[in-house]
C-alpha cells in the first residue's frame, strides 16, 4: 500500500521563490517521513532549475520509498512546474529556462505513465484529448492528460496538431464522455471552434462534453464557440471532468445547465480561495 | 542629401527620406506589405488585373509565409509612397530554391508518413509541406535539418555544420527577374528610382540569424539549446551571420544605389508579452552576431548609398534594453510595431523610449483591426498611431504585418485615406480618442525582484 501523503496544492508557494533551504523549512508535506520530505523538495527544485538529467533519479528514489506516481504528479512536480510558470509570468524566466523545466516534466511523466495506468483503481470515465490542428504545443495538454489519468480517467491523448477528422475518428472508436481541445496560440485557437463545428456536423455534439484550454483560451472564448467547459489549469480540468461523469452525467453536451454547472465550479473555487485567504 | 540624377526628388520619395532621417516630412509616408493572397485580394477588389495562380508569383523570403512585391501601378492608384523588393528565385518557384533531399548530409526530421502532400526541401534544408487554405496556401515547416546536430557530441555537430550544403549567396538566379516581367532585379530598381516617384526598401537576406536557427533546429529545441548547446549554437550563428552578410552584399552589389533603405532578414525576438530570452542571454549569445551582421552589411551598403539606413524586424514586445542593443549594433529603424503587445513595448512606448534614435515602420494592427474592424475602427487606429509615433518624423505607416486575404479592401483603403488626411504635418498636439499618451505607463523591469532570503522567525516567537 503506497504511503498516503497530503498533496493538497496551494499555488502561491512563496518559499519556492527563495531557495531549497527555505522551502525545507515550510511545513509542506509534514506528514511525510523526513527523508521523503527532503526528496520532494529536491524534486521541486530539480524542476525549477531544469536539471533534467537528474529528474528520473529523484522519481525512482521516491518510487522506492513507496510513493505513488499520483502523489508525485500532483505533489512536488505540480508545485515545481507551477513555480516555473510563475517565474515565466513575472519575466524572471524566459523560454529557454521554461523549456529546460519542461524537459524535466517530460522525463518524469514518461517514467510515471505506466505506473499511473497500473495504479488506477476505479474506472471513472473516458477522455479524448489533443492539441488542435496546426498547434505543436504538448506539455500543458500532457499534464492535463496525466492528471486526468491520475484521477482515474482512461485518457486517449491524440498528441499535437490533431485534425478535426482525427478527433471524430477517436471519439467514434473510444466513446468518451469528454473531449478536450488544447491550443496555445491565438493563431490556432480558432481551430477549437472549427473542430467543434465538425463534431456538430457529425452529430456527435450532444454525446460529448467539450473542454477547451490553453494559454490564449478564456471563459469568454469558451462561451463564444459554445464549448461546455474552460479549464484554467489541469486541476480545474480534473474537477470539472469528475463532475461531468458523476452528478452531471445525464446532461447532454451543449446544454445550458451543463455550462452553468461548470461556471458554478469556478465560483466555488474562487469562494474557497477567498475564504482561505482571510 | 541623396543625390538625384537629372530631376528633383519626387514628393513620395522625399517624405520617405525625411521620415528615415527623423525629420518631419509633409505627411506620414505610407507603404503596403502583404502575402500573395492578400495582394491578389486587394487587386481583385480594386478591379485591377492580376495573376490568379497564387503559386506563380515571385516571392521573397524563406519564412513561414512569403512577401510579395506590390507593383507600381497599385502604388500609384492608392497613392502610397514606397515599394519593397527582395532578392529571390524567379516566379513560379515556391519562393525558395528547392534542394535535392539526397544532398543533405544529415537525416531530416520528416514526420512519417509524409502522406501525399507536396513536400519540398528549401534552400536551407528545411522540410516544407504545401499547406493549402481556402484562398491559397503556404509551405509549412515540418522538418528541421539540424535538429539532431545540436545535441550530438560537439565535434560531430561542428562537422555537420562544415559539411552542410549551405545556400550560395552569390547565386545569380536570385536576381534574374523582378516584380516587372522581363526586368532583372537591377533594371527594376533603376526603373523604380528613375521612372516612378516611389522610394524603395530592399531585402537581400534569405534567412537571418536567430530566426533561421529556429528553422534549422526546430522551434522548441532551439530554446533549450541556448542553455544546453551554446558552443554549437554559436558556431551555427557564425555561419548564418556570414551568409546574411554575403546575401546582403550580393543584393546590394546589384542594386544598392537604388535602395533607400535595407531590411535585414527578419528576426523574431519576442512574444507579445516580453522577450523570448533573458537580457543577459541576449547580450551574450545573440548581440555579438547581430553586431557583426549589421555593421558589415552597413559598411558595404554605404559604399553604394552613403545615406542608406538599416531596418530590423521583430514581432512581439521587445523591451527597451534589447532595442538599445540593436541600435548599438547599427540598426536605424524597426518594424513592424505590432500595437496589441504588452504596453512596455507598444508603439507609443517605443516612440517615447527610442524616437530620437530610430525610425519605425508598420503599426496598424493586422490581428484584429484590419481584418475584423469596421472602417471607422481602422481610421481611429490610424489617427492614434500617427499621433503616437509620427511626431518629429520617423514613422512609415503600414500594416503591422503582412496584409492577408482576410483584410477587407475598404479597410485597406480606409487606412491609406486616413493617413493621407490625418498624417499631414504639423500633427496636432491634442491626442485623438484612444491614443496611448503614456499616462500610467510602467517600463519593463530588466531586474526582476532580487531573491532575498526571507527573514527567519525568531526562536522566541
Q: What is the CATH number of the domain that holds A20?
A: 1.10.1240.10
Check: CB of residue B258 under 8 Å from CB of residue B192: yes
Residue A143 covered by a domain:
yes
| C-alpha cell of residue A199 | 463534431
Residue A236 lies in a domain: yes
Number of domains in chain B: 1
Cell of B334: 524597426
Q: How far apart are CA B68 and CA A134, in angstroms?
A: 24
> With left for phi above 0 and alpha for psi between -120 and 50, is residue B337 left, alpha or beta?
left
Interchain contact, A17 vs B451, CB within 8 Å: yes
- List the Cα angle A11/A14/A20 in 5-degree steps: 110
Beta bridge partners of B136: B133
Query: How far, rounded to the nearest angstrom, does the alpha carbon of residue B205 sit from its chain's CA centroid?
Result: 11
Residue B319 lies in a domain: yes
Residue A1 located in a structural domain: no
B281 and A96 within 8 Å at the Cβ level: the answer is yes
Say if residue A84 is in the same domain as residue A66: yes
Residue numbers in chain A where pLDDT is lower than 50:
1
Task: Please indicate, yes or no, if residue A7 is contained in any of the structural domains.
Answer: no
Look at residue B53 and tell me if it is in a domain: yes
Min distance B121 CA to chain A CA atoms (Å): 20
Distance, CA of A100 to CA of B163 (rounded, Å): 29
The minimal CB distance from B277 to the residues A17, A95, A100 is found for A95
pLDDT of residue B115: 62
d(CA A122, CA A152): 6
Statement to judge: residues A114 and A222 lie in one domain: no
Residue from the list B226, B367, B444 with its beta carbon closest to the beta carbon of A96: B226
Q: Are residues A163 and A253 in the same domain?
A: yes
The SS3 of residue A190 is: helix
With contacts defined as CB-CB under 8 Å, which chain B residues touch A91?
273-274, 444-445, 448
Is residue A8 in some structural domain?
A: no
Torsion of CA A19, A21, A23, A29, to 10 degrees: 150
Q: Are residues A35 and A87 in the same domain?
A: yes
Q: Which three cell numbers stand for residue B250?
A: 550580393
pLDDT of residue B461: 43
For residue B283, being part of any structural domain is answered with yes
Find, in chain B, the residue whose alpha carbon is nearest to that of A99.
B224
Task: Search chain B and give the residue with CA nearest A187.
Answer: B367
Closest CA to A112 of A76, A86, A161, A79: A76
Predicted confidence (pLDDT) per residue in B121-169, tens digit: 889 999 888 888 888 888 888 888 999 999 899 999 999 999 999 999 9
Element (H, E) at A109: helix A95-119
Q: Does A15 sit within 8 Å of B275, measured CB to CB?
A: no
Q: What are phi and psi of B388, to 5 degrees?
A: -70, -40
- Quick one: pLDDT at residue A274? 82
CB contact under 8 A, B227 and A96: yes
| Dihedral angle sign, alpha carbons of residues B242, B244, B249, B254 | positive
Q: Which of A85, A119, A153 is the last residue of a domain?
A: A119
Q: Which pLDDT value is given to residue B63?
A: 73
Q: Could you tell me the pTM of the whole model?
A: 0.84
Compute CA distances A257 → A200, A237, A260, whole Å. Answer: 19, 18, 5
Which one-letter DSSP state was computed for residue A125? E
Contact A18 B449 (CB under 8 A): no
Within 10 angstroms of residue A110's Cβ, the number of other Cβ atoms is: 13
- Taken in order B364, B369, B370, B373, the sign of the CA dihedral is negative
Question: What residues are paired with B310 via a beta bridge?
Answer: B262
Under an 8 A CB cutoff, do A22 and B454 touch?
A: yes
pLDDT tens digits for A44-55?
Answer: 999 999 999 999
How far is the alpha carbon of B360 from chain A, nearest alpha carbon, in Å?
Answer: 25
Phi, psi of B242 (to 5 degrees): -50, -45
Of the ranges A65-79, B86-100, B440-454, the best mean pLDDT one: A65-79
DSSP secondary structure string for all residues of B364-407? E-TTTHHHHS-HHHHHHHHHHHHHHH-TTS-EEEEESS-B-TTS
Q: Which residues of B touch A (CB under 8 A)?
A: 219-221, 223-224, 226-228, 273-278, 281, 367, 444-445, 448-449, 451-454, 456
What DSSP line would sit under B133-172, residue for residue?
Answer: ETTEEEEEEEE-TTTTGGGS-HHHHHHHHHHS----TT-G
Q: Which residues of B5-28 are buried (b: 16+ CB within 10 A; e: fewer)?
A: eeeebeebbbbbbbbbbbebbebb
Say whether A100 and B445 touch across the interface (CB within 8 A). Answer: no
Query: Which ipTM score applies to this complex?
Result: 0.89
Among residues A66, A101, A119, which one ends one of the domains? A119
With H, G, I as helix, E, B as strand and everything else as coil, classify residue A96: helix
Nearest CA in chain B to A103: B224
**Closest residue of chain B to A93, computed from CA coordinates:** B278
Residues A140 and A262 in one domain: yes
Q: Are B291 and B338 in contact (CB under 8 A)?
A: no
Strands B119-121 and B127-133, sheet pairing: antiparallel
Give the chain A residue nearest B449 (alpha carbons). A92
Contact call for B224 and A94, based on CB within 8 A: no
Residues B265-312: tens digit of each pLDDT: 999 999 988 999 999 999 999 999 999 999 999 999 999 999 999 999
Q: Looking at residue A10, what is its pLDDT?
A: 56
- A96 → closest Cβ in B277, B445, B453: B277
What SS3 class is residue A212? strand
Distance between CA B191 and CA B17 in Å, rounded? 18
Q: What are the strands of the beta sheet with B359-364, ordered from one edge? A: B82-86, B199-203, B261-263, B309-313, B333-336, B359-364, B395-399
Residue B122 lies in a domain: no
- Alpha-carbon span B215 to B206, nearest angstrom: 12
C-alpha grid cell, residue A119: 495504479
The answer to whether A234 and A11 are in contact (CB under 8 A) is no
Are A266 and A167 part of one and the same domain?
Answer: yes
Name the residue in chain A with its Cα closest to that of B228: A100
SS3 A128: strand
Q: Residue B413 burial by CB count (10 A; 0-12/13-18/19+): exposed, middle or buried?
A: middle
Cβ–Cβ below 8 Å for B228 and A94: no
- Look at residue A3 in the predicted model and tell me its pLDDT: 59
Considering its fold, how many domains does chain A have in total?
2
Of the partner residues B223, B451, B452, the one whose CB lies closest to the CB of residue A95: B223
DSSP B260-304: SEEEPPP---B-SSSBSS-HHHHHHHTHHHHHHHHHHHHHHHHHH
- Whether A9 is in a domain gets the answer no
Is pLDDT at B257 greater than 80 in this prediction? yes
Minimal Cα distance from B225: which residue of A?
A96
The upper half-sphere exposure of residue B338, i.e. CA atoms within 13 Å in the direction of its Cβ, equals 22
| Contact assessment for residue B175 and residue B189, using Cβ atoms and an 8 Å cutoff | no
Contacts of A99 in chain B (CB under 8 A): 220-221, 223-224, 227
Contact B93, B122 (CB under 8 A): no
Residues A267 and A162 in one domain: yes
Q: Assess if residue B47 is contained within a domain.
A: yes
A36 to chain B, closest Cα gap in Å: 23
Task: Give per-residue pLDDT as tens, B364-402.
Answer: 999 899 999 999 999 999 999 999 999 999 999 999 999
CA angle B166, B168, B172 (to 5 degrees): 160
Q: Which of chain A's residues have a Cβ under 8 Å away from the Cβ of B448?
A: 90-92
> Of A73, A93, A119, which marks where a domain is finished?
A119
Q: In what helix (H) or strand (E) does residue B310 lie, and over which residues does it extend? A: strand B309-313
Predicted local distance difference test score (pLDDT) of residue B138: 84
| CATH number (domain holding residue A216) | 3.40.50.280
Contact between residue B299 and residue B241 where contact means Cβ atoms under 8 Å apart: no
Q: Which domain holds residue A193?
A: 125-277
Give the range of the structural domain holding residue B247, as residue numbers without chain letter: 11-92+168-422
On whether the CB atoms of residues B267 and B208 are closer than 8 A, the answer is: yes
A3, part of any domain = no
CB contact under 8 Å between A91 and B445, yes or no, is: yes
B276 interaction partners in chain A (CB closer than 8 Å): 94-96
The nearest CA of chain B is from the CA of A53 a distance in Å of: 11
Residues of A with CB under 8 A from a CB of B: 14-15, 17-19, 21-22, 25, 50, 90-92, 94-100, 103, 136, 186
Domain harbouring B360, CATH code = 3.20.20.210
Residue A21 within any structural domain of the chain: yes
Tell which of B134, B151, B220 to mutate to test the A interface (max A CBs under 10 Å). Answer: B220
Query: Alpha-carbon distance B443 to B275, whole Å?
Result: 14
- Per-residue pLDDT of B406-436, as tens digits, reads 999 999 999 999 999 999 999 999 999 999 9
In this structure, the answer to whether residues A249 and A205 fall within a common structural domain is yes
Residue B210 confidence (pLDDT) above 50: yes
Q: Which comes out higher in pLDDT, residue A248 or B65? A: A248
| Minimal CA separation from B226 to chain A, in Å | 7
CB contact under 8 A, B227 and A15: no
Count A/B contacts: CB-CB distance under 8 Å.
Answer: 55
Q: Which helix (H) or strand (E) segment is B309 a member of?
A: strand B309-313
CB B403 within 8 A of CB B413: no
The CB density around residue B366, as the number of other CB atoms within 10 Å, is 24
Are residues A271 and A158 located together in one domain of the fold?
yes
Strands (DSSP E) along B31-149, which ranges?
A: 82-86, 119-121, 127-133, 136-143
The nearest alpha carbon in chain B to A100 belongs to: B224
Which residues of chain A have a CB within 8 Å of the CB of B461?
none
With a pLDDT cut of 70, the percent of chain B lying above it is 93
A254 and A130 together in one domain = yes
Residue B443, domain member (yes or no): no
Integer Cα distance of B185 and B165 in angstroms? 25
Q: Which chain A residue shows the shortest CA-CA distance from B220?
A: A99
Q: How many residues does chain A have?
A: 278
Same domain membership, residue A270 and residue A192: yes
The values of phi and psi at residue B434, to 5°, are 90, -5
Per-residue pLDDT, A103: 93
Same domain, A80 and A163: no
Amino acid at each position: 500500500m503506497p504511503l498516503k501523503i497530503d498533496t493538497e496544492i496551494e499555488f502561491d508557494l512563496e518559499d519556492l521563490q527563495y531557495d531549497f533551504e527555505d522551502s525545507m523549512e515550510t511545513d509542506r508535506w509534514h506528514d511525510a517521513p523526513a527523508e521523503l520530505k527532503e526528496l520532494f523538495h529536491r524534486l521541486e527544485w530539480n524542476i525549477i532549475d531544469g536539471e533534467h538529467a537528474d529528474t528520473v533519479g529523484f522519481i525512482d528514489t521516491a518510487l522506492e520509498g513507496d510513493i505513488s506516481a499520483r502523489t508525485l504528479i500532483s505533489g512536488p512536480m505540480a508545485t515545481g512546474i507551477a513555480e516555473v510558470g510563475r517565474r515565466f509570468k513575472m519575466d524572471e524566466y524566459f523560454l529557454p529556462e521554461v523549456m529546460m523545466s519542461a524537459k524535466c516534466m517530460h522525463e518524469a511523466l514518461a517514467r510515471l505513465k505506466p505506473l499511473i495506468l497500473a495504479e488506477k483503481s476505479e474506472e471513472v470515465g473516458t477522455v479524448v484529448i489533443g492539441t488542435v490542428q496546426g498547434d505543436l504545443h504538448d506539455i500543458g495538454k500532457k499534464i492535463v492528460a496525466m492528471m486526468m489519468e491520475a484521477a482515474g480517467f482512461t485518457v486517449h491523448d491524440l498528441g499535437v496538431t490533431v485534425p478535426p477528422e482525427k478527433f471524430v475518428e477517436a471519439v467514434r472508436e473510444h466513446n468518451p464522455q469528454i473531449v478536450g481541445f488544447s491550443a496555445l496560440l491565438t493563431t490556432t485557437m480558432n481551430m477549437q471552434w472549427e473542430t467543434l463545428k465538425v463534431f456538430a456536423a457529425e452529430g456527435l455534439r450532444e454525446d460529448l462534453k467539450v473542454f477547451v484550454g490553453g494559454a490564449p483560451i478564456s471563459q469568454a472564448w469558451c462561451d463564444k464557440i459554445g464549448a461546455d467547459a474552460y479549464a484554467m489549469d489541469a486541476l480545474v480540468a480534473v474537477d470539472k471532468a469528475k463532475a461531468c461523469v458523476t452528478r452531471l452525467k445525464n446532461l447532454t453536451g451543449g446544454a445550458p445547465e451543463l455550462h452553468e454547472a461548470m461556471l458554478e465550479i469556478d465560483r466555488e473555487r474562487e469562494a474557497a480561495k477567498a475564504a482561505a485567504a482571510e | 542629401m541623396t543625390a538625384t540624377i537629372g530631376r528633383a526628388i519626387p514628393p513620395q520619395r522625399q517624405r520617405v527620406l525625411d521620415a528615415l532621417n527623423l525629420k518631419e516630412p509633409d505627411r506620414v509616408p505610407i507603404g503596403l506589405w502583404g502575402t500573395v493572397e492578400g495582394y491578389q485580394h486587394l487587386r481583385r477588389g480594386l478591379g485591377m488585373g492580376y495573376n490568379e495562380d497564387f503559386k506563380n508569383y515571385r516571392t521573397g523570403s524563406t519564412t513561414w509565409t512569403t512577401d510579395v512585391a506590390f507593383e507600381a501601378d497599385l502604388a500609384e492608384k492608392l497613392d502610397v509612397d514606397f515599394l519593397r523588393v527582395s532578392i529571390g528565385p524567379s516566379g513560379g518557384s515556391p519562393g525558395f530554391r528547392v534542394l535535392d533531399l539526397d544532398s543533405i548530409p544529415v537525416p531530416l526530421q520528416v514526420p512519417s508518413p509524409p502522406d501525399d502532400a507536396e513536400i519540398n526541401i528549401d534552400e536551407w534544408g528545411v522540410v516544407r509541406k504545401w499547406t493549402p487554405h481556402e484562398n491559397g496556401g503556404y509551405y509549412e515547416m515540418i522538418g528541421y535539418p539540424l535538429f539532431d546536430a545540436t545535441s550530438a557530441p560537439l565535434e560531430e555537430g561542428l562537422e555537420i555544420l562544415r559539411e552542410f550544403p549551405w545556400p550560395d549567396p552569390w547565386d545569380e538566379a536570385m536576381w534574374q527577374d523582378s516584380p516587372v516581367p522581363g526586368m532583372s532585379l537591377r533594371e527594376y530598381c533603376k526603373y523604380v528610382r528613375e521612372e516612378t516617384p516611389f522610394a524603395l526598401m530592399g531585402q537581400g537576406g534569405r534567412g537571418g540569424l536567430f530566426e533561421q536557427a529556429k528553422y534549422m533546429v526546430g522551434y522548441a529545441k532551439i530554446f533549450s539549446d541556448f542553455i544546453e548547446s551554446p558552443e554549437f549554437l554559436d558556431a551555427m550563428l557564425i555561419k548564418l551571420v556570414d551568409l546574411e552578410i554575403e546575401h546582403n552584399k550580393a543584393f546590394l552589389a546589384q542594386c544598392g544605389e537604388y535602395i533607400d533603405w535595407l531590411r535585414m532578414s527578419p528576426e523574431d525576438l519576442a512574444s507579445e508579452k516580453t522577450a523570448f530570452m533573458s537580457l543577459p542571454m541576449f547580450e551574450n549569445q545573440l548581440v555579438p552576431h547581430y553586431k557583426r551582421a549589421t555593421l558589415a552589411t552597413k559598411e558595404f551598403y554605404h559604399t553604394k548609398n552613403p545615406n542608406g539606413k538599416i531596418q530590423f524586424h521583430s514581432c512581439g514586445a521587445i523591451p527597451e534594453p534589447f532595442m538599445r542593443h540593436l541600435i548599438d549594433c547599427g540598426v536605424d529603424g524597426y518594424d513592424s510595431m505590432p500595437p496589441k503587445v504588452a504596453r512596455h513595448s507598444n508603439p507609443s512606448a517605443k516612440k517615447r523610449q527610442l524616437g530620437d534614435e530610430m525610425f519605425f515602420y508598420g503599426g496598424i494592427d493586422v490581428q484584429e483591426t484590419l481584418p475584423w474592424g469596421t472602417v471607422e475602427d481602422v481610421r481611429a487606429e490610424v489617427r492614434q498611431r500617427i499621433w503616437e509615433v509620427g511626431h518629429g518624423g520617423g514613422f512609415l505607416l503600414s500594416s503591422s504585418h503582412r496584409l492577408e486575404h482576410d483584410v477587407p479592401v475598404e479597410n485597406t483603403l480606409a487606412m491609406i485615406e486616413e493617413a493621407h488626411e490625418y498624417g499631414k504635418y504639423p500633427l496636432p498636439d491634442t491626442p485623438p480618442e484612444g491614443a496611448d499618451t503614456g499616462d500610467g505607463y510602467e517600463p519593463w523591469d530588466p531586474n526582476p525582484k532580487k531573491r532575498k532570503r526571507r527573514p527567519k522567525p525568531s526562536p522566541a516567537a
